[in-house]
Chains A and B, each alone.
Chain A
Amino acid sequence: MISFSAVHKHYPGGFAALKDVSFVVNPGEMVFITGHSGAGKSTLLKLMAAIERPTSGNVLVNGQNIGKLRAGAIPFLRRNFGLVFQDHKLLFDRTVYDNVMLPLHIVGFDRTEAAKRVRAALDKVGLLGKEKANPVALSGGEQQRLAIARAIVHRPAFLLADEPTGNLDAAYAADLGELLRSFNQVGVTVVIATHDEQLAARLNPRLIVLDHGKLVS
């Protein structure tokens, strides 16, 4: 469970990205965070995964307070999350396979079991045939799916995605929507920051709408 109560986030220079935001995301839910560009959608996701800390208020993830978390505990909190970034953050010095292997390598997974999981994750996103390719050789849509494979390979409880359909055409975006829904159907809590209204209309999730850092609905 993720809960925000009276959360404010100010950036150096005085810009207030979030003002008095409170909501709860229950286990197994699919939630879309929408709003105009600069409304604070990305900041909201960053606070959940302890990439940033709130200026005031409490962000609780599975009962742990992000604002007060020790630096040493953050890696273990993040292992509950699968993160899909707007700019993918893929590593171009290694193969598709090794990109997906990274989260399992980090948690010290058994080798043979890890290899099976990587193949399963690549199969799920339809990239099994390209495991030896360099991510550079993939199209934008394929890179996005690779980022999703890396996010779900360690079977996280939460999947957070920031503008996953950002640069994709409508057909690709529809496929991606189905993929995200399929994770939700097997019990993963999915939180997506997007301004893609078509995607929202198709998946019919709960909406959290932000306007200039304030929660509208």
Chain B
Amino acid sequence: MRNWIYQHWRNLGATLGRFGRTPLASLLNIGVIGIALALPLGLYVVLVNLQTFARERAPVPQLSIFLAMDAKPADAQAITARFKNHAGVKNHRFVPRDAALAELKARSGLADVIDSLNQNPLPDGFIVEARENSATALETLRDEMKRWPKVTHVQLDSAWARRLDAVLRLGQLALLLLAGVLAFALAAITFNTIRLQVLTQREEIEVAKLIGATDAFIQRAFLYYGALLGLAGGLAAWLIVWGGLVLLDNGLAELARLYGASFRLQHLSLQDSVTVCLAAAALGWLGAALSLRRHLAAFDPH
């Protein structure tokens, strides 16, 4: 067992040595893989940020109910009572007209415009979350509430969220396609790199085979190399995306501040980062394994 660990340790050392012996070629390879992986990874971050943005603005489809301008507090209480007894309503929130104005002022960046108004143009309102979020259930609820006394308008604000969702789904599909193509590129790069290494180490492989080395023994160092190459490429991609996000984030924060809002970009989560690096290592290993299968067969007896 100790011997087995020693052998693997020794192989790892030898593999790192191989990187060290050809620093420029290795760096270029890592760079190419890093850039190739940074494309889908960057797109992924953009999608994650858009999704978060969308979720913050419209967590679940909501119904906004606007009362008539002349509605009295008693009317609002009557409607609250209706909500409490209604089976289709999950929860509801009363938004008095003053609070609505204050919120608009805080969130939209239109503070100056609102301050110039001499009266509040907003009615009292309710925000309602339904128990069921299917389109038909929501529309039935909307039509029912429209008929209640002192209700002037019911707005179902899920439509734009749905459109955004559809766009995001399209984005995810594009991401999958891009990731698939570039994963193939990564495997192809390691395939070719390992092919060249097998060619330059022909003699060593031939001698090792002649004196009883198993294929597993010969392949080990190459597989390590492929996996490490993938891993380093994954790390490079992570660095590229991280650097890009840091630069963009500062610019976006500045832009958001000018609009009177605050906005921060979301970075890659630890889990996503680890997944990317491991997937890159696995692809490197796969490319190396395919290459070895193809190129070590030439040494077998016939």
Interface residues, chain A, with chain B CB atoms under 8 Å away: 49-53, 71-72, 74-79, 81, 83, 85, 89, 91, 93, 102-103, 106-108, 110-111, 150
Contacts and interface: CB of A to CB of B under 8 A. Distances in A.
Which size bracket describes the interface of B in this complex? 20 to 34
B213 A75 contact: yes
Interface string B208-233: 11111111010000000000000000
A75 B212 contact: yes
B204 A91 contact: yes
Contacts, number: 57
Interface of B: 3-4, 6-7, 203-204, 206-215, 217, 300-302
Among B6, B212, B300, B302, residue most surrounded by chain A Cβ atoms (within 10 Å):
B212
A5 B302 CA distance: 19
Contacts of A50: 301
A77 B203 CA distance: 21
Contacts of B203: 89, 91
Contact of B213 (A49, A71, A106): A106
Contacts of B302: 52-53
10 contacts: A75-B213, A75-B217, A76-B212, A78-B212, A81-B212, A102-B207, A103-B211, A106-B208, A106-B212, A106-B217
B186 to A, nearest CB: 29
Given A50-B301, A53-B302, A108-B7, A83 B210 contact: yes
Contacts of B211: 78-79, 83, 102-103, 106, 150
A111 B301 contact: no
Given A51-B301, A71-B300, A91 B207 contact: yes
Contacts of A83: 210-211
Nearest to A74: B301
A77 B208 CA distance: 14
Contacts of B208: 102, 106
Contacts of B300: 71
A202 to B, nearest CB: 28
Given A52-B302, A108-B4, A108-B7, A79 B212 contact: yes
Contacts of A71: 215, 300
B3 A108 contact: yes
Given A51-B301, A89-B203, A110 B210 contact: no
B210 A52 contact: no
A89 B206 CA distance: 9
B78 to A, nearest CB: 84
A144 to B, nearest CB: 16
A78 B217 contact: no
Contacts of B214: 72, 75-76
Given A52-B302, A71-B300, A108-B4, A78 B210 contact: yes
Closest 6 CB pairs of A and B: A79-B212, A78-B212, A106-B213, A75-B214, A75-B212, A103-B211
Given A52-B302, A79-B211, 19 more contacts: A51-B210, A52-B301, A53-B301, A53-B302, A72-B214, A72-B215, A75-B213, A75-B215, A75-B217, A78-B210, A78-B211, A89-B203, A91-B203, A102-B208, A103-B212, A106-B217, A108-B4, A111-B6, A150-B211
A106 B212 CA distance: 7
Contacts of B212: 75-79, 81, 103, 106-107
A85 to B, nearest CB: 8
B20 to A, nearest CB: 15
Contacts of B4: 108
A165 B77 CA distance: 111
A33 to B, nearest CB: 19
Contacts of A110: 3
Nearest to B207: A89
A83 B206 CA distance: 13
Given A53-B301, A106-B217, A75 B6 contact: no
B210 A89 contact: yes
A93 to B, nearest CB: 7
A139 to B, nearest CB: 21
A53 B300 CA distance: 10
A89 to B, nearest CB: 5
